[in-house]
Amino acid sequence: MLLCIDVGNTNIVLGIFQDDTMLNHWRIRTERDMTSDELGILVNNLLVPAQFDIHRIRNVIVSCVVPPLLNAFKEFCLLYFDHEPMIVSPNIKTGMPIKYDNPKEVGADRIVNAVAAYQKYRTGLIVVDFGTATTFDYISAEGAYEGGAIAPGIIISAEALFQKASKLPRVEIFAKPKTVVAKETMDSISSGLVYGYAGLVDGMVNRIKEEVGSDLTVIATGGLAPLIKSEARSIDYIEEFLTLEGLNTIFKLNSPR
């Protein structure tokens, strides 16, 4: 079995794969000062209720955008599996040309998403990932990563309002407000965030399509993707496990036959 781990700034997502089948998955909060021992306890506590024996895991692949945690995951894998994990880095084989001016600058999660999306759809794509940042990535019809855009994520935008505007409350974004023109402060903030981000997505997608001169399939992923898709007109499909699927694909590309 393969353990795929996507370490993001807000959440760590884990998935167990047997060949191309994902057997289970988990999402936990990112703690930047976790040790390898704490990771071992945490992973075991996730696997036991799901009736997975950690010793059945033969390989691990990690995509990490939180550098302080990378060594902890390496040590965790050495402790439990006697080898370091495969790390998604600029040197790894992805099967996808990276057309960024400096490919080392592209976040590992963005490349993994692009690989997974193209593997599944085999057409020109825009991948929108609603994570700590909201990212837009363009993949050409020929399967090259061409670049993209980065905007502040919904959750950190809401948190910035709470921290910087003294009279505005903290708002949890779980559902869209009933109206765009709200009658109270909490709903006003929710309206600005939900409908505002839907407009951001539609605007960015339309501009990318105009710039590249092509009609593109738009894939959304990330925890808030379903909420924004309900209001954005430009999103075609939601792929909840895009990053984990991409990690599984990249592992197979780099594994000895």
Question: In this predicted model, what pLDDT tens digit does every residue of 191-234 receive, in sequence order?
Answer: 999 999 999 999 999 999 999 998 999 999 998 899 999 999 99
Q: What is the pLDDT of residue 251?
A: 96
pLDDT tens digits along 153-173: 998 998 898 888 888 888 887
Is 185 within a domain?
yes
- Give 102's pLDDT tier (boundaries 50, 70, 90): very high
Summarize pLDDT for 76-96 with one digit per residue, the tens.
Answer: 999 989 899 999 988 899 999
Residue 250 domain-assigned?
no
* Residue 257, pLDDT score: 60
**Residue 55, CB-side half-sphere exposure with 13 Å CA sphere:** 0
Q: Is the pLDDT of residue 17 over 90?
A: yes
CATH number for 18: 3.30.420.40
- Domain check: are 141 and 172 in the same one? yes
- CA-to-CA dists, residue 120 to 11, 92, 237, angstroms: 24, 20, 12
The pTM for the full model equals: 0.91
Active-site residue identified among 6, 53, 109, 236: 109
Question: Is residue 42 assigned to a domain?
Answer: yes
> 80 and 112, same structural domain?
no
Q: Strand, helix or coil at 61?
A: strand
Q: At which of 23, 56, 87 does a domain end?
A: 87
Structural domain includes residue 148? yes
- Reply yes or no on whether the pLDDT at 133 is more than 80: yes
Of 109-118, 155-164, 232-241, minimum mean pLDDT range: 155-164
Is 98 part of any domain? no
Structure confidence at residue 53 as a pLDDT band (50, 70, 90): confident
pLDDT at 207 (0 to 100): 97
Tally the domains of the chain. Answer: 2
Lowest mean pLDDT among 26-35, 163-172, 246-255: 163-172
Give pLDDT, residue 154. 92
Q: Is 215 a catalytic residue?
A: no
Q: Which domain holds residue 161?
A: 103-245
Determine the Cα–Cα distance for residues 86 and 77; give it in Å rounded to an integer. 10
Q: How far is CA 80 from CA 70, 184, 240, in A?
A: 16, 52, 28
Q: Do residues 75 and 35 share a domain?
A: yes
- pLDDT of res. 121: 97
* Co-location of 108 and 52 in the same domain: no
Report the percent of the chain where pLDDT is more than 90: 73
Assess whether 212 and 143 both reside in one domain: yes
Residues 120 and 239 in one domain: yes
Statement: residue 256 has pLDDT above 80: no
Is residue 253 one of the residues assigned to a domain? Answer: no
State the Cα–Cα distance between residues 217 and 209, nearest whole angstrom: 10
Decide which of 33, 55, 87 is a domain's last residue. 87
Q: Are residues 125 and 200 in the same domain?
A: yes
Whether 21 and 67 share a structural domain: yes
What is the reported pLDDT for 100? 92
Maximum pairwise Cα distance, the chain: 62
Q: Are residues 183 and 74 part of one domain?
A: no
Is 95 within a domain? no
Question: What tokens does 209 get?
Answer: 């399509």
Chosen domain end from 87, 115, 138? 87
- Give the DSSP letter of residue 31: -
Q: Is residue 251 part of a domain?
A: no
The better pLDDT of the pair 53, 220 is held by 220
